[in-house]
Amino acid sequence: MQHLHQSPTDPAFVQNPYAFYARAREAGPLIFWEEYGMVAATRLNSVSALLKDRRFGREVPSELATPRPEHLRDFYEIEDRSMLELEPPVHTRLRGLVLRAFTSRRIKALGPEIAELAHRLLEDAPDGPFDLLPVFAERLPVIVIARLLGVPEETAPDLLRWSHAMVGMYQAGRSRADEEAANAAARDFAAFLRSVIAERRKRPGNDLLSELIAAEEDGEKLDEKELIATSVLLLNAGHEATVHTIGNGVKALLEHGAKASEANATAMSEEILRFDPPLHLFTRYAYEDVTLWGHDFRRGEQVALLLASANRDAELCEAPETFDPARRPSRHQAFGGGLHFCVGAPLARLELEVALPILFARLPRLRLAEPPRYAPKYHFHGLERLIVSQT
């Protein structure tokens, strides 16, 4: 196995991680990423296999569990109950309850509402240069997920602020200040949701949170802490990744002279997710000793799954480094796989398929007004701003 060096905070890597991914895939299905101090899966076959291999999982093995730092108590009060960080049987119960409320029918019914919101957000778009992220890419998904859950739409700015702070815990090179900001956000987020949950218990509505409160699996319901953790996960994941996907997608379309209003919406959305996904790295723990691709994994060893690298593998499609919005949809890894396949994938796909054609239809002369730049927040991959113009 080759050992490769690449700082995840290096500015050149932040702007274009794909050159490193190409080098990593060339080195083999597994490499040792020195800066992370762990093995990384680089190719479609290794990433896909590890996502589905039940000998690997998200939950920290019991012998590796350590006391949570006091200054992160509120953050881990939520994180440790998130179904994203748990394995069966707890994960099975939580995911089953969420899917019972988060139905495909409920998601599909949001199409007209997403379309109306996209039109409304674009009504006052200026002709001159403006940042599309706060005007459109950030507001649309956070309002949609807030409405879906039954959280007041006017709280969207708070939701964005809390989410950005909490996501800071996953970025490379986080500081003590980042950790304290994440903990404060978690504390405020939990207090806010506690009040919303209390209101929904008294007066249930036609919303996802009311459904989650009522949902049962084999006689068990979500307790308040599980409700809070699940709501935070849905709110954060339900818009954070979609913001990046919309921004990355518009960038790709404009750079390649394509228009979403003229493309097949499904093919375009899948190609955006394949070509420049919002999440680039996801980790798993080995739950037993196992040898794969010539490497002896030991129980407790972590492995990094390079989702974005797998999406550029030639085994996935022809000319994988080329953006082609007419490409036949492929088995990309943007939503992960296995038990932890993204529960919000149908909503993210619907938002892209509905909102992007409306954006390009409403702003037909849309162009990049300055070169886009990605934010230094690996392992997320999203723009820090997207300055566009209609003139």
- Answer whether 125's CB lies under 8 Å from 159's CB: no
- With a cut of 80, say whether residue 219 has pLDDT above it: no
Map tokens 């500081």 to a residue.
175
pLDDT value of position 127 = 84
- With a cut of 90, say whether residue 247 has pLDDT above it: yes
- Answer whether 24's CB lies under 8 Å from 40's CB: yes
- With a cut of 70, say whether residue 216 has pLDDT above it: no
CATH fold for domain 3-389: Cytochrome p450 (1.10.630)
| pLDDT tens-digit map of 257-273 | 988 777 799 999 999 99
302-306 and 38-41 as β-strands: parallel, antiparallel, unpaired?
Answer: parallel
- With a cut of 80, say whether residue 220 has pLDDT above it: no
pLDDT confidence of 235, banded at 50, 70, 90? Answer: confident
| pLDDT tens-digit map of 29-65 | 999 999 999 999 999 999 999 999 999 999 999 899 8
Between CA 178 and CA 183, with CA 181 as vertex, the angle to 5 degrees is: 110
| pLDDT tens-digit map of 346-377 | 999 999 999 999 999 999 999 999 999 999 99
Between CA 287 and CA 276, with CA 82 as vertex, the angle to 5 degrees is: 85
Name the DSSP letter for residue 137: I
pLDDT mean across residues, the chain: 93
Can you give the residue ranges of every domain in the chain?
Answer: 3-389
SS3 call for 11: helix
Return the percentage of the chain with pLDDT > 70, whole number.
Answer: 99
Q: What is the pTM of this model?
A: 0.93
* Other Cβ atoms closer than 10 A to 63: 7
Pick the closest to residue 189 from 152, 150, 231 (CA basis): 231
pLDDT value of position 335 = 95
| pLDDT tens-digit map of 151-184 | 988 998 899 899 989 988 988 888 999 999 999 9
What the block records as the tokens of 86 is 């748990």
pLDDT confidence of 27, banded at 50, 70, 90? Answer: very high
pLDDT confidence of 218, banded at 50, 70, 90? Answer: low
H-helix or E-strand containing 41?
Answer: strand 38-41
